[in-house]
Amino acid sequence: MAFVTIDACQGCGACLLTCPTHAIRPVAGGLTVRADRCTGCLECLEICPVDAIRVVEPDPCKGAR
């Protein structure tokens, strides 16, 4: 499953309100995405006005051990 990461965030807050699983959380200096909650729906990516959200593919070996 793909999940997302955030950089170059302008702090508008739109993605926090949009995420259906509340995977996006404020942290010191910006936002973080909880991979265990992100379903890869990409609603946050579509709503971000500055294209700060990117899709990343998790390591396929991660969690298999």
Determine if 43 is a binding residue for ligand SF4 (CB under 6 A): yes
C-beta neighbour count of 12 within 10 angstroms: 13
Out of 5, 32, 36, 42, name the contact with ligand SF4 by CB under 6 A. Answer: 42
Cβ 29 vs Cβ 9: under 8 Å:
no
Determine if 41 is a binding residue for ligand SF4 (CB under 6 A): yes
Question: Between residues 49 and 65, which has the closer beta carbon with respect to ligand SF4?
Answer: 49
Q: How near is the Cβ of 34 to ligand SF4 at its closest, in Å?
A: 8
C-beta neighbour count of 43 within 10 angstroms: 15
**In the block, which residue shows the tokens 């807050």?**
13
